[in-house]
Amino acid sequence: MSYELHYWPGIQGRGEFVRLALEATGTPYVDVARGAEAKGLGLPALQRQLQSKTATQPPFAPPFLKDGEFVVGQTALILQYLAPTLKLVGRSEQARVWTQQIQLTIADAVTDAHDTHHPVGSSLFHEDQKPEALRRATEFCRVRLPKYMQWFEAIVVRNPAGSRHLVGGKLSYADLSLFQLIEGLRYAFPKASQRVLAQTPQVMKLHHRVATLPKVAAYLRSERRIAFNEQGIFRQYPELDIE
C-alpha cells in the first residue's frame, strides 16, 4: 500500500520536505490533492480529510500523511515517522533525537523565511504589510540567515563521522531538508543567500551531493517537482532581498 501525502496542490510548501524523502528513497506514494477527482483524489479529497466530523485525531493542517488508517501531521513528525522505514535516520536514540533537533531548527528557518513577507498575519495580503515586511526581511537577511547557516556549517564540519552529512555517515532526512531550505532561500533571497552561503562551503558541498543523488536529480527534472512561485512559503519579492 502506498503512503498518501495530503498537501495543497500548486505549491511546494512544507509538503515538499516530505516529498523529497519519499522521492529520494524511491518510495511509492500518492500526492492526493494533485490527483484526478474522477479517481477520488484532488483537492476535494484533501478537504474531506480536513473537514471530517468523525476523526478522533484530525490533522490541524496540511501536510499530513496517511499510512493505512494511521494519520500523522506536522512536517518534522511525518519525517520522523517515515525515517526508520525509509532508512533515513540512524538506529541509535541519540542519532534519532539529534536528527529531529536539526529538522526542527530547519522548520524554524522556514517559518522565519515565510514571515518576511507575512510578518503581521498570514490572513492579510503581502501588500497590506509591506513596511513591516521590509523591516522583518532586513533582520532575517542580515542576522537570522547567517546565524542559521553558520550553525549548519558547524554541524557538518564537526560531524565525527565526516563532513559528507549532517548526522553520521549516511544520508538522513535532515540532509534532504537542508537541501530544500537552501533551494527556497536561493529563490526568495538570491542576493542575500549568495552572500551568506559563500561563507558555508561544507553546507554547499552537502547541497550539491543531495542534488546529484540519482533519484533526487530525476525528481528535480520531473513534472512532479512543482516550481517555486509567489503562493508558497518562499516568495521572491526583490525589495525584501537585503544584501
Question: Looking at the structure, do residues 192 and 114 belong to the same domain, yes or no?
Answer: yes
Helix (H, G, I), strand (E, B) or coil at 224: coil
Full domain range(s) for residue 192: 93-213
In whole angstroms, what is the distance from residue 127 CA to residue 108 CA? 24
Could you report the per-residue pLDDT of 168-181, keeping only the tens digit for each? 999 999 999 999 99
More confident site: 69 or 171: 171
In whole angstroms, what is the distance from residue 119 CA to residue 72 CA? 28
In whole angstroms, what is the distance from residue 112 CA to residue 8 CA? 21
Sheet holding 3-6, edge to edge: 29-31, 3-6, 64-67, 70-73
Could you report the per-residue pLDDT of 77-122, keeping only the tens digit for each? 999 999 999 999 999 999 999 999 999 999 999 999 999 999 988 8
- At 1 the pLDDT is 64
Task: Pick the closest to residue 155 from 138, 143, 141, 172 (CA basis).
Answer: 172
- At 161 the pLDDT is 96
- At 56 the pLDDT is 85
Residue 242 clears pLDDT 80, i.e. is over it: yes
Structural domains counted in the chain: 2
Q: Confirm if 73 and 49 have CB atoms less than 8 A apart.
A: no
Q: What is the CATH number of the domain that holds 36?
A: 3.40.30.10
Q: Is 65 among the domain residues? A: yes
- At 55 the pLDDT is 81
- At 54 the pLDDT is 79
Q: Is 224 among the domain residues? A: no
Residue 40 clears pLDDT 90, i.e. is over it: no
Domain boundary among 69, 86, 103: 86
Question: Looking at the structure, do residues 78 and 131 belong to the same domain, yes or no?
Answer: no
Cα pseudo-dihedral 63, 64, 65, 71, rounded to 10:
180
Could you report the per-residue pLDDT of 190-231, keeping only the tens digit for each? 999 999 999 999 999 999 999 999 999 999 999 999 999 999
Q: Enter the C-alpha cell of residue 71.
A: 494519520
More confident site: 12 or 55: 12
pLDDT, averaged across the chain: 95
